[in-house]
Structure formats: C-alpha cells, structure tokens
Amino acid sequence: MHFESVNPATGERFAEYAHASPPEIEAQLQRAHEAHLEWRNVSVEARTDPLRTLARLLREQKELHGDLMTREMGKPITQAIAEVEKCALVCEYYADIASSALAPIPVETDASTSYWTYRPLGVVLGIMPWNFPYWQVIRFAAPALTAGNAVLLKHAPNVPGCALSIERLLCEAGYPEGLFVQLLLDVENTGELIADARIQAVSLTGSVRAGRAVASRAGAAIKKCVLELGGSDPSIVLADADLDAAAASCATGRFINSGQSCVAAKRFVVVDAVREAFEEKLLQAMDDWPLGDPLDPSTGVGPMARSDLRDALHGQVERSVEAGARLVVGGVVPERPGGWYPPTVLADVSPGMPAYSEELFGPVACIVPVADEAEAIRVANDTAFGLGASVYTTDVERGEVIAVDLIDAGNCFVNGIVKSDPRLPFGGTKESGYGRELSPLGLLEFTNVKTVWVK
C-alpha cells in the first residue's frame, strides 16, 4: 500500500510513498516516547532555540515549500509562500512568549511555598488536514514541542511530501532525533495509536465525522483531545455597512485557498435593504480572484485539492439550485483534468438547501436574504457549526455587541474576515469542536497544570 502525490491542476501522479508498517510505527512511537523523557527536562529557554532556527529556515526556503504545497494540493503559489511565512511568524511568537507563559504561578496559602506549574504530557498525536498542510502542523507542533512534549504526526494522505518535508525541517532546525516524527498511516492504524499508553493526547483538525471518531477513541482511553472541525461561517451584512469594503472582504474570505478553509466565510447573511447592491459589488470583487494556473503568481483561485471533493461540492450546488437557489455565476465543471471548479455565487439561499445547512468546502459563496438585523442574527446562529462569524456595519459599537453577546462562535470579527493570528486563541463551539490553539492558551493546552504545596 502507498500514498500518492497527485497534482490537482493536471491529475498527474508524481510521487509515491509506502505506508508505515506495524514495526515502523512501533519503532517511531518508542523513539518519540524516549525523546520526550529527555526533552521534558530541558529548560524552556533551551526549547525555544530550535524554534528561532525553524523560523529562519522557513523564510529562507519559502519558495521551495510553497512550490511543494502548490503541486500537492493546488494552493495558489502566492498564498502558499505566504503560508510558509506565517509558519515562521508563529515560531517566533512562541519563542518570544514561552518563558513567561510557562512560568510557575505563585499563590499565597497556608503553605511556606505554593504555586502551580505547567508540565508536559508526553507524546501528542497530531492528525492534520491537507488544506493548510504546513500551517496546521506548525501551529500545533510549535507550542506542543515548546511545552516539552514530543509530537507524532499523521498527516492527510494527499500531502505526504509536505509531511516528510516538515519532518526534515524540524530535524534541520535542531530538534532532538525522534522528538517530532511523521508517519504515513491509514485510518485503522491511527485509531489504534490513540489507545497506546505512550500517546497522552490528540490534536485533530478535520471533519466533524473524524472529530467524532477521534473523540470517542480518546474518551475511551481517557485522553485529552483538541478538535478543530468544520464550519459554515456566516458574514452578516447590515444595512449601514460599507458595501464596497464588505464585498471585498467577503470575496477574500470566501475564495482564499480556493474556498477550502474551515473558517472561510461561507454564508453571506444580507439584510434586504442592501441585498441587491451587495450582490452586484460581490460580483465586482470577484474580479480580483481569477481562476488559473496555481503556479502563476497572479492566480487567485486554483483547483480544488482532489477531484472527488470537487464533485461533492458540485453536487451540493446542483441540489441547492434544484431546491430554489439562484445560480448567479459559475456552477459549471470545466472540461479539463484536475479538480477545477469556478468561483460560484448562489443567491436566494434558504433553509432546506445544502447551501444553507451544510459546509460547502470550495469556492462557492451563498447569499442568504434576511429582513433585518434580528433575523440576520437568528440565521447566523441557525447552524450546527460555531467556528467563526463576521459582522459588517459602520456602527462599530453595535457590531461589537453582536460579536460578543449575540453570535455563537469561537471567533467573531467586526468588519473583517475571520483569520487565525498567533496572538489570539483559535477554536470553535458546537460541532466545530473544542479546545484552543494559538495564543498562550495554545501553549498550555497540552500541559499538566500541577499544583505544588510545600511546608
């Protein structure tokens, strides 16, 4: 059995990699466990040295890694290089804050000395997706390693080259041998790993279905897990919004990474007073997101990562149109090899349509008309997901009230697209998962908060 690297722009298979065998899995897991036993006693300050080196290497080699991303999963090259640069940024962030964030917290009690401290858990299994094949790994691994853990990576099967490349990068950055290990695993072997006593926690970014399976396995083994799952993020456009800015922002939020992002803007919930004007301006803003060769720096939208994902998306579009949605633009599968799908807009989307209730993981924008602000908030929350949401209004104070008090999501932005930032916690509610990545909270997720009392 093997994994294949397939260029989604052409359908060309350009590399094959063998699955890890059971003896290889056992050997690598044991290596990670032994590496952790030494690494956990290394000072926090010393653990940050490889992070700074990793950041430098990422910047120096950004074109190389960006090109690999583009060839394996179709990300437009400019966005791929930007992803590598963002990985360098998160490394530098954790190198800067680790010592203070992981410092013991003294408390006055009846003891001579009492405090809590943060100790690493052990080997953390990371199950990562293909859509941001470097960022998702580095944003999880950088804090997990810095907190003193070891990392075992199970990457998505369509980006094996990225998984191997990341492993080489961390080795070159100076991390001890075996501390970060990638394994080309199938689903069955991954599930069995969670039960192994040497695995202490799991971080998954993926589908709701995968999240349920991992949470069940981890729960049975009484192990912590962090889940960042799907999303059907609403962008509320109120009557007083700056429509030019809102349309440009919504287009960016929907079409970046060819629409393949859990936290992408997917449902544009627009009040009737500005719906027609917003639709027109959205179509104009789409001119900045041309479909084209992902290796061309001017391309905005490339192919989807796999043809089967494109076909599933097209089926959702067709069923939505059959249920009454209006196809404004796009919605036709190009006659060419690869996972191509044009930027598409569906209007008059309403309950009962896949475009309303399901996650559309690709370059399809859905306009949901509502009468007023109250209905907009109700529709925004009318979803099983709760990853992100945006509100567009010139009344910034009202927008903040809506974001803080009225929208049920883990990330709420006013007058901007939802995006991850190393300095801010990132995660969801409801079927979008639980736990937080990034910020100091992401550094502490995989630690044992240990109370110490001395008299």
- Tens-place pLDDT, residues 165-213: 999 999 999 999 999 999 999 888 888 899 999 999 999 999 999 999 9
pLDDT at residue 297 in the model: 98
Mark whether 228 is an active-site residue: yes
Q: What is the pLDDT of residue 305?
A: 98
Whether the per-residue pLDDT at 430 is higher than 80: the answer is: yes
Taking the CA atoms of 218, 219, 221 and 223 in sequence, report the sign of the dihedral they define. positive
Tell me what the mean pLDDT of segment 263-272 comes to: 96
Q: Looking at 72, 83, 167, 228, which residue is catalytic? A: 228
Please report, for residues 131, 161, 253, 258, the alpha-carbon distance to residue 79 in angstroms, rounded to integers and kept in the order given: 12, 18, 13, 10
Report CA dihedral (387, 392, 395, 399) to the nearest 10 degrees: -10
Query: Under 8 Å CB-to-CB from 206, ≥6 apart: which residues?
Result: 127, 128, 129, 228, 229
Kindly report whether the global pTM for this prediction surpasses the value 0.85.
Answer: yes
Contact between 118 and 449 (Cβ < 8 Å) = yes
Q: What spatial distance separates the first Cα and last Cα of the chain, rounded to whole Å?
A: 59
Question: Is 41 exposed, middle or buried, given 0-12, 13-18 or 19+ CB atoms closer than 10 A?
Answer: exposed
Q: What is the DSSP letter of 406?
A: I
Q: Looking at residues 235-257, what average pLDDT do you find?
A: 98
SS3 sequence of 96-112? HHHHHHCCCEECCCCCC
Residue 169: what are its φ and ψ, rounded to 5°? -60, -45
**Per-residue three-class SS string for 149-188:** CEEEEECCCCCHHHHHHHHHHHHHCCCCCCCEEECCCCHH
Residue 1 has pLDDT above 80, yes or no: no
Q: Across residues 110-127, what is the average pLDDT? A: 98
Let me know: does 361 contact 309? Beta carbons within 8 Å.
yes
Segment 384-425, tens digit of pLDDT: 999 999 999 999 999 999 999 999 999 999 999 999 999 999
Catalytic-role residue among 162, 262, 366, 412: 262
The average pLDDT across 126-133 equals 98
DSSP structure class, residue 257: G
- Given a contact cutoff of 8 angstroms between Cβ atoms, the answer to whether 34 and 178 are in contact is yes
Q: How many CB atoms lie within 10 A of CB 117?
A: 15
